[in-house]
Amino acid sequence: MKSLAAHFSRSIGRPNARLHFAAHSHHPWPDVTETAQAQCWDDAARLLDDKWGRIFSTVLPAAKRHVENRLNLSDPGSVVFAPNTHEFVLRLLSALPPGRTARILTTDIEFHSFARQVARLEEDNLVEVTRVPAEPFATFAQRFIAELREDHVDLVFLSHVFFNSGWVVTEIADIVNAVRHSDTLVAVDGYHSFMAVPVDWSALQSRAFFIAGGYKYAMAGEGVCFMHCPPGFGPRPRDTGWYAEFGALAGARPGETAYGLDASRFAGSTFDPSGLYRFNAAQDWFDKAGGDVAAHHAFAQGLQQRFLTRSPAALQGALMIDEPSRRGRFLTFRLAEAEAIEAHLSANGITLDRRGDRLRFGFGVYQTEEGVDRLIDAFN
C-alpha cells in the first residue's frame, strides 16, 4: 500500500508542520474527522436535547459495529464506550468480590490508568497485587502462566502490546486459557494493539475483556474508549452510572439496583459524544482508503526496516526488540543519552517520545519514506 499522508493535510500536512514520529501516542487525525466534529456541533445546535436520540439510535450503534468488525466479535452488544480507560478500570475493580482482599495478577509495566490505581488500593490493603516482570521478554508468557497456577486470582490484567517497549504478547490466548477459575475476571489492555496489529478476539470473546480507544492508532482523538465485555462476568459493578440501567430488565427486584445483561452493565453517565463522531468518520475513512490493519501494519514495518537499515550511530546496539513479529507499531531504544537525543531531534522539528531512558519512534500510515530519511538525516 502507499502512504496515506495526503489525507492529513489539516495536521501534519500543514506548511512547516513538525515531522511526527510519535505514532504510538497522539496520532494526527485524518481530515475527515474535522467534518465529523462539525457534524456533532450541528446536531447539538439543531436538535438540542433530542440529539441523544440520534446518538443512541445511529452514532453509538455504528461505533459498536466498527469495534465488532475490527475485533471479529459476534455481537456489538458486547461493546460499551466511555470517555477514558480509567473508567473501565474502576468498574472492573468494583466488580471484584466483596468481604475480602482481592488478588490481582498483572505485570510490572502496565499503563498508569491501571498501575497507579491498583498501587493506591494496595497501600490501604484493599487488594493484593502480584506483578510479573515483563523482562526478559522471551520467557514472559511462561512466567505469567506459572503464576496463574499458584493460587486463586480474582483479576488478571495485562497488555497485549507493552507500551514502553512495543513487545507483542503473541501468547495472549495461551494466557487466557490458562486461567483456572471460572470466576476470575480477565482483562487485556489492547490500546497498543487495536488498529495497530491484527487482532481477532473471536476465540476469546466469551472469556476476556478487551479495552482500547481512539486516541492512538484509531486516530479519533480523546474521549472515545471502549471495552468488550464477555457475557456473565462482572454482572453488577459497584461503580455504576445511570446509563447502566438502560438495558435492565423490567422485572428487576425491589430494593436491588438493576443492570443490563449486555455490555451496558459497565456503562457510565452523560458524556461528550464528539469522539464517537470522529471515531466513526475515521473508521469509515479507513475502510474506503483501502487495505486492512494487517496491510497497514506491514506498511509501518517497512518504514521501521528502512529506519533500521540506516540506523544512526547514536542508536546502535540499543534496540530493545529485534524480532519484527514481536514488535508493534513503534521501535524502542534504551540508552543513557535518550534525553539529549530527544532534545536534539525536537530542536530540528521532529516529534517523538521518551520514557526515561527509552526513546520511542512510532511509524504509521501517514508517514513516507522521505520522512524516514529526513528523520535519519536529523541525527547528523
105 and 122 housed in the same domain:
yes
Q: In the predicted model, what is the mean pLDDT of residues 180-205?
A: 97
- What's the CA gap between 173 and 168, in Å, rounded? 13
The values of phi and psi at residue 371, to 5°, are -65, -40
In angstroms, the CA 56 to CA 10 distance is 30
C-alpha cell at 364: 504509521
Q: Are residues 167 and 315 in the same domain?
A: no
Segment 242-255 shows an average pLDDT of 75
CA angle 326, 327, 331 (to 5 degrees): 150
pLDDT in the model for residue 250: 53
> Which runs of E-coded beta strand occur in 123-197?
127-132, 155-159, 185-189
Q: In terms of domains, do 246 and 318 share one?
A: no
Question: Could you tell me the CATH number of the domain that includes residue 60?
Answer: 3.40.640.10
Q: Are 131 and 211 in a shared domain?
A: yes
Let me know whether 204 and 66 are in one domain: yes
pLDDT in tens, 117-165: 999 999 999 999 999 999 999 999 999 999 998 889 999 999 999 999 9
* One domain for residues 217 and 74: yes
- For residues 219 and 364, membership in a common domain is answered with no
C-alpha cell at 338: 535518550
Q: Is the pLDDT of residue 380 over 90?
A: no
Q: Is residue 191 domain-shared with residue 310, that is, in the same domain?
A: no
68 & 167 share domain: yes
Task: Measure Cα distances from 213 to 44, 122, 222, 228, 275 in Å.
Answer: 23, 27, 8, 11, 10
d(CA 129, CA 121) in angstroms, rounded, equals 10
Domain boundary among 253, 284, 315: 284
Clarify whether residues 255 and 328 are in a common domain: no
Identify residue 181 by its one-letter amino acid code.
H
Q: Say whether pLDDT at 358 is over 80.
A: yes
Of 264, 284, 304, the position where a domain reaches its end is 284
Alpha-carbon separation of residue 345 from 157, 287, 348, 351, 376 (angstroms): 35, 34, 5, 7, 10
Q: Please give the Cα distance from 179 to 186 (Å, whole number).
A: 8
Domain extent for 183: 38-284
Q: What is the CATH number of the domain that holds 371?
A: 3.90.1150.10
pLDDT range class, residue 23, cuts 50, 70, 90: confident
pLDDT digits (tens, 9 = 90+) for 81-93: 999 999 999 999 9
State mean pLDDT over 247-269. 83
Q: Is the pLDDT of residue 249 over 70?
A: no
In the predicted structure, residue 252 carries a pLDDT above the cut 90:
no
pLDDT in tens, 297-336: 999 999 999 999 998 999 999 999 999 999 999 999 999 9
pLDDT tens digit string along 53-112?
Answer: 999 999 999 999 999 999 999 999 999 999 999 999 999 999 999 999 999 999 999 999
Split into its structural domains, the chain has a count of 2
DSSP lists the bridge partners of residue 209 as 187
Residue 1 in this model has a pLDDT that exceeds 90? no
- The set of cell numbers assigned to 72 is 471479529
